[in-house]
Amino acid sequence: MRLIKNPEERRNEILDAAEILFVTKGYTKATVMDILQACNIAKGTFYYYFQSKEEVMNAIVMRFILSGEASARHVVSDPKLNAHDKIFRIMMAQNQPDGRKHDLIEQLHSVHNVEMHQKSLVETVIRLSPILAEVVEQGIQEGYFIHLTQRNPSNSCLYRHNFCWIEASFNGRRKNSKKG
């Protein structure tokens, strides 16, 4: 008997199964047929949602990117955090993938997946840039950063000082997070 599911639920089921296959078998070795078998669906059902295995991989990557974007937006919306802390938290959240994301990133680093990896980097930059720009603007208002149009010899020194202070803070926090 055919099981009818909500389209979004079915789509996510295909993505979840494909993600597991891409990580366990490797993206290049996993086939559409493997995905069909893992989901117990017909070929037509797969092609209703996706045109190719590459499109599935793209959708999986986009889920992670959108999750990172949502996480960054959540950090930015916290009025209690200053710009320095916001940037730190956004960067740390992007660089601390869970096990699934880590395994998928390993697949993206494969020579066979260079194009998909490049697309994911570009999409991440496109989505995070406006969020980070908002934080930098807040940092300028708070005095953590100096707008380049305000640069003069004395501001240049201050700019370098702020940059070194931020870099030292990141390094210090990185060392502390390894201890704890």
Could you report the per-residue pLDDT of 93-124, keeping only the tens digit for each?
877 666 666 777 777 777 766 777 788 888 88
Calculate what percentage of the chain has a pLDDT beyond 70: 74
Chain mean position to CA 32: 25
Mean pLDDT of 159-177: 46
In this structure, the chain runs to a length of 180
- pLDDT score of 9 more than 80: yes
Mean pLDDT of 15-41: 91
Lowest mean pLDDT among 88-92, 143-147, 160-164: 160-164
Separation between Cα atoms, residue 112 and residue 28, nearest integer Å? 7
Q: How far is CA 21 from CA 15, 16, 66, 86, 118, in A?
A: 10, 9, 21, 35, 21
| 39 neighbors 123 (Cβ within 8 angstroms) | no
Q: How far is CA 23 from CA 30, 38, 70, 106, 146, in A?
A: 9, 14, 24, 8, 44
Could you report the per-residue pLDDT of 129-152, keeping only the tens digit for each?
999 999 999 998 998 877 655 555
Closest CA to 22 of 118, 104, 119, 112: 104
At residue 126, what is the residue type? I
Separation between Cα atoms, residue 145 and residue 160, nearest integer Å? 10
10 Å Cβ neighbour count for 107? Answer: 22
